[in-house]
Structure 1
Amino acid sequence: MKKRVTGIGGLFFKTKDPKATKDWYQKHLGFNTDDYGCTFWWKDEAGNKCSTQWSAFDQDTKYYEPSKKDFMFNYRVENLEELLKVLKEEGVTIIGEMETYSYGKFGWIMDNDGNKIELWEPIDSAFEK
Structure 2
Amino acid sequence: MKRVTGIGGIFFKSKDPKKLTEWYQKHLGLETNPYGATFEWYENSGDTKKAQTQWTPFSETTKYFEPSTKEFMINYRVENLDALVEELKKEGVTILDGIETYDYGKFVHILDAEGNKIELWEPID
Q: Which runs of 4+ in 1 moved over 3 A?
A: none
Task: Please give the secondary structure, in 2, of the residue aligned with 1:96.
Answer: coil
How many residue pairs get aligned? The number is 123
Aligned to 1:38: 37
Aligned to 1:120: 121
Task: Please give the secondary structure, in 1, of the residue aligned with 2:21.
Answer: helix
* Structure 2 length-normalised TM: 0.96
Cα deviation for residue 107 of structure 1 reads 0.6
Cα deviation for residue 39 of structure 1 reads 0.2
RMSD of the TM alignment (CA)? Answer: 0.9
Residue 13 in structure 1 maps to residue 12 in structure 2: yes
Once the two structures are superposed, what CA deviation does each residue of 1:33-60 show, in whole Å capped at 9, x if it has no partner? 1110000000012721000000000000
Consecutive unaligned residues in structure 2, runs of 5 or more: none
1:1-129 to structure 2, matched below 5 A, reads 2-45=1-44, 47=47, 48-124=49-125
Once the two structures are superposed, what CA deviation does each residue of 1:76-110 show, in whole Å capped at 9, x if it has no partner? 00000110010010000000111000000001100
Give distance in 1, aligned partners of 2:54 and 2:113. 24
* Structure 1 length-normalised TM: 0.93
